[in-house]
Amino acid sequence: MDDLRKDQAFAFRIITASGDARSMAYGALDAAKVGNYQEADELLEKAEEASAEAHRVQADLLAAEANGEDIKTSIILVHAQDHFMTSMLAIELIREIIDLHKKMGG
């Protein structure tokens, strides 16, 4: 596999895991809106697991570059990092919103 294809494989793994994390986080919010906090908590846990997978892939990419591999910066890789960052933010904010729902008894 040439370097560009390897870089793209890393990027698509990050995009996939981050997209899964974001979708599960919003599913948790939907569950909380109707008062199903057990499902919300379970979905948030799954979102965290998917986010952790994206983080592992990102760490592998960083380690490869630290070990001297020439990692090509591409729009796909930038897009992957954007997905990862926004999914992490979504999880954090949705967790706070769900906590507010619980405190307000809604």
Q: Which domain holds residue 66?
A: 14-104
The catalytic residue positions are: 79
- pLDDT for 30-75, tens place per residue? 999 999 999 999 999 999 999 999 999 999 999 998 999 888 888 9
Give the number of domains in the chain: 1
- pLDDT for 81-90, tens place per residue? 999 999 999 9
Is residue 1 one of the residues assigned to a domain? Answer: no
Read off the pTM: 0.88
Confidence of residue 21 (pLDDT cuts 50, 70, 90): very high
CA distance 97 to 106: 11
Is residue 22 one of the residues assigned to a domain? Answer: yes
Is residue 82 one of the residues assigned to a domain? Answer: yes
| Burial of residue 83, with CB atoms counted within 10 A of its CB: 0-12 exposed, 13-18 middle, 19 or more buried | buried
Is residue 24 one of the residues assigned to a domain? Answer: yes
Domain of 28, CATH number, reads: 1.20.58.80
| Burial of residue 1, with CB atoms counted within 10 A of its CB: 0-12 exposed, 13-18 middle, 19 or more buried | exposed
